[in-house]
Amino acid sequence: MLEQASAFAGEGVRCEEATIEETIASQHAGTFGLVFSNAALQWLPEHELLMLAVAELVGAGGQLAIQMPANADHPSHQIARELGRDVRFAGPLGGFEREDTVRAPEWYAAQLHALGFEAQHVRMQVYGHVLPETRSVIEWVKGSLLTPYRERLETEVYAEFLSEYEQRLVAELGDRRPFFYPFKRLLLWARRAG
């Protein structure tokens, strides 16, 4: 992806590989015309400090554009958290609990205002995904929501976790074909005064 993006480098645009934490800690405060994050900031804690740090990267007249999944209140996410607390899995997880760090849209709007952005557009958008069946939700969340569980549990224990997750998910959502999976995402845009 970075290699392909490099084709657009030049005229003030450059491509670098760095973690969010490395970028925030860099000496780039106030130098970017655009700070863009797609489905990344939800993995980090302490959004009070995070928003301040990310906002500091945006220069005068610059823009901030952020998208974060915000589906923590959906049964697909609630069931995973409940299972993580189950005695069969809590010990093997070593105290890990999936934290929902994403706040309400109005909280981000207030933060952007307090951080000095003159214009903003903050909204929650529901994206509907038509999946073949209810169980397809499991494949949908394996690469994100369920990844920390897979990383922390032994193969056999994770298989048991997935089996229980599937049973509870189907019991809660019904065995539907096709299944409409409403997935919420928080979209933030803001611009600093020039």
Q: If one looks up domain 32-192 in CATH, what number appears?
A: 3.40.50.150
Q: What proportion of the chain, given as a percentage, has pLDDT over 70?
A: 100
- Give the pLDDT score at 44: 94
- Give the pLDDT score at 16: 83
- Residue spans of the domains in the chain: they are 32-192
Give the mean pLDDT of the chain: 95
Mean pLDDT of 6-24: 87
Give the integer Cα–Cα distance in Å for 23 and 27: 8
- Give the pLDDT score at 61: 97
| Residue 108 buriedness (CB in 10 A; 0-12 / 13-18 / 19+) | buried
pLDDT tens digits, one per residue of 155-172? 999 999 999 999 999 999
Judge if pTM exceeds 0.95.
no
3-state secondary structure 30-51: CCEEEEEEECCHHHCCCHHHHH
- How confident is residue 184, by pLDDT bands cut at 50, 70 and 90? very high
- Residues 6+ away with beta carbon under 8 Å from 121: 187, 188, 189, 190
Mean pLDDT of 125-138: 98
